[in-house]
Structure 1
Amino acid sequence: MADVALQRRNMVESQVRPSDVTDRRIMAAMTAIPREKFLPGPLASLAYSDEFLTIAPGRETLPPRVLAKLIQLAELEAGDNVLVISEAGYAAALVAQMADKVVSLFADNEAVKTAKEAYASLAIGNVTVVSGAAASGWAAAAPYDLVLIEGGIEKVPRAIEDQIRENGRLVSISLNDKIGRAVVLHKRAGLFARRDAFQAAAPLVSGFAEARPAFVF
């Protein structure tokens, strides 16, 4: 039987730490939390690989090192109220080790079931699992200090913008350029200032695409 605890340590030491992740809280969380609990059974053996994982049609997770860098970019604080939009519950489980309250939003009901079971088995009690369209966010628990989107975006829907508190931030991967870039958007006086960080590829999250002009003959 594979030593998954050793695999987690190896993931941190060989993938995460060499990728300029210096936040010890992130490395501690990734060393402790079993990623395989948030994946379908057939993918469990790939839980600590440095690659995108397709967990269902149209549902992909970021490689662990990219997710770790994205979380570090968010500069989490202990009192933060966070909305995490992802295709699996692992990202929210990591964030929950560093923030006060976390809402984990899924568009897929099977992901909701898997995440709830995983959080319960790991005694993670500060994550609320909800289901709905990603682009609508979750207004019931707003305003948020942070919205973390585990995937790519071309635009931020107004519903999401309105759920971020003043001086709050959104972290995701912008796909507007040919090369994807992790970005943090800081809200100031109702406007968002963008800061680019590292290059990264990511699948586009449903509802976060720019409107395309209709084709005309």
Structure 2
Amino acid sequence: MTIDYSLARENMVEQQVRPWDVLEVRVLDVLSTLPREAFVPEIHRALAYADLEIPLGHGQKMMKPVLEGRTLQALNIQSDEEVLEIGTGSGYLAACLGALARDVVSLEIQPELAAAARERLERTGLGNNVRVETADALHYTTDRRFDAICVTAAVESIPERFLEWLRPGGRLFVVRGQSPVMEAVLHHADVNGTRIESLFETDLAYLVGAAPAPKFVF
């Protein structure tokens, strides 16, 4: 069976993403044009535009399209901005960020996923301004500061180092809390300190090393 990916992409935007209040034109344009199927493992390619998380291996999954759309809209990336992504995964969201921003650095802890994402970005020609680094974000060091930071996995609490990487006026998207009820928030690095904007409730797998300590039951 041959799948019409263009039609599937259009249906994803119109039936999933837009009804979830993703109305920013630049975000919808990116989701309408980027070939999500090129970033999905071949075994799951038929599900590229389905309303579900897609397994990537190593215990990681692609976020649902609606969550990717809400994330991109919340960050409101401008064409002259520099972005840090924490958790490359398939490389699809990095490609979306690259289409919106001037420059993207994406960190991936699993070497195999990082290599696969680099290959997909290169093959699709979408990675010209995206650099994938194999690194553990919880131990990563850099002198660079970013206009926007996108964390693609959940944390129990936001690591201080993530906030230190923001420029004044920058913002950080992250899902925080304890499963099954977590909160997606946008951290604004304002001149007078940080301001937290609550966005919506969701449930997402934890960033490696950022899960809560297991509770002992007696």
Same fold (TM over 0.5): yes
2:132 is aligned with 1:129: yes
Question: Secondary structure in 1 aligned to 2:100?
Answer: coil
Q: Which residue of 1 aligns with 2:108?
A: 106
Deviating runs (4+, > 4 A) in structure 1?
213-217
After superposition, the C-alpha distances for 1:126-147 in whole angstroms (9 at most, x for unaligned) are 101111103234626x201111
Q: Which residue of 1 aligns with 2:55?
A: 54
Q: Which residue of 2 aligns with 1:29?
A: 30
Unaligned runs of 5+ in 1: none
After superposition, the C-alpha distances for 1:84-116 in whole angstroms (9 at most, x for unaligned) are 122221111111111110011111112122211
Structure-1-length-normalised TM-score: 0.90
Q: Percent identity?
A: 29
Report 1:111-190 matches (<5 A).
Answer: 111-124=113-126, 125-137=128-140, 139=142, 142-176=144-178, 179-189=181-191
After superposition, the C-alpha distances for 1:20-67 in whole angstroms (9 at most, x for unaligned) are 001111111111111122221101111111011221132112100111
Cα offset for 1:183?
A: 0.3
Unaligned runs of 5+ in 2: none
Question: What is the identity, as a one-letter code, of the residue corresponding to 1:13?
Answer: E
- Cα distance in 2 between the residues matched to 1:31 and 1:214: 43
Q: Name the CA shift for 1:181/1:116 in 2 (closer, same or farther; >3 Å).
A: same
Structure-2-length-normalised TM-score: 0.90
Give the paired residue count: 215
Whether contact under 8 Å (1:166, 1:190) holds in the other structure is no
Q: Which residue of 1 aligns with 2:8?
A: 7
- Cα distance in 1 between the residues matched to 2:206 and 2:18: 26
Question: What is the identity, as a one-letter code, of the residue corresponding to 2:162?
Answer: I
Question: What is the identity, as a one-letter code, of the residue corresponding to 1:55?
Answer: L
Cα offset for 1:175?
A: 2.1
- Cα distance in 2 between the residues matched to 1:51 and 1:9: 16
Whether contact under 8 Å (1:185, 1:195) holds in the other structure is yes
